[in-house]
Structure 1
Amino acid sequence: MSQISPKLAISMKAFYGDLQLGILGGGQLGRMLIQEAINFNISTRVLDPDPHAPCKHLCDHFTLGSLTDYETVYNFGKQVDVLTIEIEKVNVDALEKLEEEGVIVYPQSRIIRLIQDKGLQKQFFKENNIPTAPFLIINSAADLKTTNFTYPYIQKLRRDGYDGRGVQKIKSESDHKDAFNAPSLVEEFVDFDKELSVIVSRNEDGEVKTFPCVEMEFNPDVNLVEFIISPSTLSFEILQRADDLAISIATSLKIVGVMAVEMFLTKSGELLINELAPRPHNSGHQTIEGNYTSQYAQHLRAIFNLPLGDTRSISNAVMINLLGEKGFEGLAEYEGLNEVLKTDGVYVHLYGKKYTKPFRKMGHVTILDDDREKAIEKARFVQKTIKVKI
C-alpha cells in the first residue's frame, strides 16, 4: 500500500479541521485570510504585538508577542503545521530554524529575507535581467553627494519601509539635510504613465497563475494605494508583458503562495518593476467579490499545494481604501455608510480597528458594475461620502 506524502497529508488535515495554520501578523490581511480559511475547516493561530489586532477575535488561538523576536517567533512556529505571513517584518532566522526542523514555511524564509531588503530586491532584478529603474545602494545620507543621478530622484530605506513610509523624493541638494541617514537605495525618478500591479500565485507543484493586471492610484499625501481599478484596459500587448514579468519572477524565486508585483508603465510604454510583496496585497482586495477566486483563497490553495483557482474577473471592480481622516485620532466612527449602501454593487469591508488616526487603513469598499465607467463613477461617490472620524 502506497504511503501518503507529508504534503498531501497536510492538505487532508485541512479538510478535517486538524490543520494548524500559523499567521505572522494579525492585521487586516490576516483577518481576510482567516475569513477564507474558515471555508477549508482550517484552525488558525495568529501572532501579533497589538492586543487589539483585527485578527484577535476571528482566529482560534491568538498569541500576543513580537514578530521580530527570535524566541517568540520560533516558539509560535513550533505549534503549527504550516506558517505564513501577512507582513514581511518578521524574524527570518527563526523561520529558517523552523524550516530545518520540518515546519512548512510559505513563502519560504529565503524569499522573505530578500524582500525585507529593498537593496537585495533590486540586485535580484539586475541579476535576473528584470527591468527596473536604475539604482545605487548607499550607506548614509553623506553618500548622496557622490551619486550621479539628476534631480529629482528617489531615496528608499533598505529596510522597514512600509505603506509609503521610508520613501522620499530628493528634489535638490538642499534636501540632503533631511534625507534618510541609513542604508538606502537611490533610484532614478520614473516619469510614469500608470502604476500597475499583477498578483501572481504559485504552488509547490510549480503551477503558476496570474490575476488580471490592475491600475492603481495613490494618495499623494502618504503614498498609500487609495484606488484600484480592475481589470486594466491597457493594450493586450502591455498586459501580456506584465503577466510574463510576474510569472518570470515567481518562477525564478520558486515562491509558494501569492505575490504582488508592482510596476510602472512609463510614458514611452516600458514596464519597470518597482517592488514585490510576497503575500496577499492591497492591490488584490477587490478579488474577493470581483474574481472567481480571491487572492486569499488562492494563497491557501498555493500553500496547501492544491490546484490553483480560476483568476478571471467576474465584473469590473473598483476598490477604495478607507483611510482615517486628517485631524482625527480616537474611537472610530464611519460617516456615510447608509448613503453608500443604498448603491447597487457596493461591498463594505471594515477591519475591526477600534481606533482611527490620520491615514490609518480602516477598511475598504469594492464596487462592481458591468459598465466600467459606472463602476468608477460610483467609486468616486463612495470615496467622497464615507469618512472615518471620531
Structure 2
Amino acid sequence: MQKLGLLGGGQLGKMLLQAAMDLDIHVKSLDPDPDAPCAKIAPEFVVGSFLDFDTVYQFGQDCDVITIEIENVNLEALKKLQAEGKKVFPQPEVLEIIQDKRIQKQFYQDNNLPTSDFILTDSIEDIKQNIDFLPAFNKLGKGGYDGRGVQKLSSEADISLAFTEPSLLEKAIDFDKEIAVIVARNEHGEIKTFPTVECVFHPVHNLVEYLFAPAEVSTQIHDEACKIAIETAAKLGIVGLLAVEMFLTKDGQILINEVAPRTHNSGHHTIRANHTSQFEQHLRAVLGLPLGDTTAHSKAAMVNLLGEDGFTGEAKYQGMEESLSISGVYPFLYGKKITKPFRKMGHITVVDEDLESLKAKVSKVKETLKVVA
C-alpha cells in the first residue's frame, strides 16, 4: 500500500481522505491545527507547520508520494525531498510559479496564454504612477486566498486601499461570466478535463458563493475553455489537479484569471454529479493511475455554506431538516466547531435534470440553510 503525505488538513483534505478510503490509500496529514477537519479521520495526523522546513522535510521521509491541499507550503523542503527521490506532486517548481501571483501572471504572458493586461508594482508609488491604468484589481503577490489580498481600485480616490507590498495591478475586465475548468494530468502525460462550470462570486468577499455545472455557454466556448486549461496544465508540466479560473468577456474572449494547483471549490459538486470526483481524480493523477471518466450524470449546483454575518462562536445549522427534505440536496459539513462571518463551514451540492428546477432548489437552500452561533 502506498503512503501519501498530505500537506494540509482542512476541508479539501477531508474530502480527499474520503476518496482515498475507497482506494485503500494510507494518508498521513500535516496541519498546525489539532482540530483541523482531517484530524479525526486521517490514518495518521501530525500537528505541525507546513511552512517550516524541518517539519515538512521530516514529515516526508516515510511517504511514497507527497501532495498538498494548500499551496502556501515550504518549497525548499519539498525540493530537497524531490532531489532525494521522493515523488512530490504538484512539483515544487510548479508551486513556485503559482504561489506568487506576479510570477503566475508573467508565466501566462510568456507562454502566450490569454490573460488580462497587468502591471507589476512594488510600492504605492508605482501604483500612483499608473493611475491611468485604473479601474484595476490590486492583488498581493504572495499570501492572498479566498478573496483576501485582492482590492479593487476604481480611481485615484482608492489609493489608500492599495497594498504596500509587491503586488500587481490587473485591468478590470467587463466580463459576461466567470467560468472554471478543472484539468488533471498524470505522470504519463494523460490529461482530462471536467465540464466547464459557471461561478457566481460574493460581491464583497470575493469568494465563490455558488456555481452551476455545466456552465450555460455554447459548445464552442466550452471547448475553448477546456483547450486553454489543457494547454496551461501542459505548459506548467503539472502532475495532479489544476483549477483554471477564467473570465468570459462580453465579446466572447476567454481570459485566464488565476489557477490553483489542487482540488478546488469549483469542483466540489463532482462528488455527487460526476462519474469520477475531483478528489479521486487528484489521487489517480498523483499516484500515476489512469485518469477517471469525468462525465457528469446530471446537472448540478454547489452552494458554499458560509458563516452568517454577525455570528461568531460554536456553529449551529439552522434549516438543516428542511433542506434535507428537498430531493437532490446533499450537504457536506467541514467539521469546523467555530463559525465566523463568511467562514467556509461546508457546502451543499444540488442535483437535478432540469435547469429551472435546479435553480429553484438553489434559491430555496440559500434562503433556508444558515450557519449561526
Same fold (TM over 0.5): yes
- Pair 1:249 & 2:250 matched: no
Give the whole-Å Cα distance in 1 for the aligned partners of 2:164 and 2:59: 34
Residue of structure 1 equivalent to 2:251: 268
8 Å contact kept, 1:88–1:112: yes
Letter in 2 for 1:251: A
- Unpaired runs of 5+ in structure 2? none
Residue of structure 2 equivalent to 1:6: none
**1:161-187: CA deviation from partner (whole Å, max 9, x where unpaired):** 000000011112121122110000111
**1:33-83: CA deviation from partner (whole Å, max 9, x where unpaired):** 000000111111111111110000110111111111111111111121111
Give the whole-Å Cα distance in 1 for the aligned partners of 2:312 and 2:3: 36
Q: CA deviation at 1:149?
A: 4.0
8 Å contact kept, 2:131–2:156: no
Q: CA deviation at 1:19?
A: 1.7
Residue of structure 2 equivalent to 1:231: 214
**1:321-352: CA deviation from partner (whole Å, max 9, x where unpaired):** 00000011110000000001110001110001
Match of 2:143 among 151, 156, 160: 160
Q: CA deviation at 1:195?
A: 0.2
Residues 53-202 of structure 1 correspond to what in structure 2 (within 5 A)?
Answer: 53-147=36-130, 149-202=132-185
Q: State the TM-score, normalized to the length of structure 1.
A: 0.94
- Pair 1:389 & 2:367 matched: no
Q: CA deviation at 1:27?
A: 0.4
Match of 1:299 among 244, 262, 282: 282
Residue of structure 2 equivalent to 1:29: 12
Residue of structure 2 equivalent to 1:350: 333
Give the whole-Å Cα distance in 1 for the aligned partners of 2:36 and 2:167: 30
Q: CA deviation at 1:221?
A: 2.1
Q: CA deviation at 1:244?
A: 0.5
Q: CA deviation at 1:359?
A: 0.5
Match of 2:199 among 192, 212, 216: 216
Instruction: Please give the secondary structure, in 1, of the residue aligned with 2:321.
Output: helix
* Count of residues in correspondence between the two structures: 373
Q: CA deviation at 1:150?
A: 3.5
8 Å contact kept, 2:322–2:368: yes
8 Å contact kept, 2:202–2:209: yes
Instruction: Please give the secondary structure, in 2, of the residue aligned with 1:78.
Output: helix
Q: CA deviation at 1:220?
A: 1.2
Give the whole-Å Cα distance in 2 for the aligned partners of 1:115 and 1:295: 20
Instruction: Please give the secondary structure, in 2, of the residue aligned with 1:185.
Output: strand
Match of 2:25 among 29, 34, 42: 42
Give the whole-Å Cα distance in 2 for the aligned partners of 1:149 and 1:319: 38
Give the whole-Å Cα distance in 2 for the aligned partners of 1:297 and 1:189: 35
- Higher mean displacement: 230-239 or 193-202: 230-239
Give the whole-Å Cα distance in 1 for the aligned partners of 2:247 and 2:157: 28
**1:246-290: CA deviation from partner (whole Å, max 9, x where unpaired):** 010111111111110000001111100000100000000000001
Give the whole-Å Cα distance in 2 for the aligned partners of 1:385 and 1:136: 43
Instruction: Please give the secondary structure, in 1, of the residue aligned with 2:62.
Output: coil
Letter in 2 for 1:226: E
Q: CA deviation at 1:120?
A: 0.6
Give the whole-Å Cα distance in 1 for the aligned partners of 2:305 and 2:55: 32
Q: State the TM-score, normalized to the length of structure 2.
A: 0.99
- Pair 1:374 & 2:357 matched: yes
Letter in 1 for 2:262: R
Give the whole-Å Cα distance in 1 for the aligned partners of 2:220 and 2:334: 37
Is the alpha carbon distance of 1:329 and 1:203 closer, same or farther for their aligned partners in structure 2, counting shifts above 3 Å? same
Q: CA deviation at 1:148?
A: 5.5
Residue of structure 2 equivalent to 1:258: 241
8 Å contact kept, 1:149–1:188: no
**1:73-130: CA deviation from partner (whole Å, max 9, x where unpaired):** 1111112111100000000011000000111100011011111000111111001101
8 Å contact kept, 2:102–2:141: yes
8 Å contact kept, 1:356–1:362: yes
Residue of structure 1 equivalent to 2:342: 359
Give every structure 1 segment of 4 or more consecutive aligned residues whose post-TM-superposition deviation is greater than 3 Å: none
Match of 1:323 among 294, 299, 306: 306
Letter in 1 for 2:11: Q
8 Å contact kept, 1:216–1:283: yes
Letter in 1 for 2:339: T
CA RMSD, 1 decimal: 0.8
Give the whole-Å Cα distance in 1 for the aligned partners of 2:153 and 2:23: 48
Give the whole-Å Cα distance in 1 for the aligned partners of 2:151 and 2:62: 40
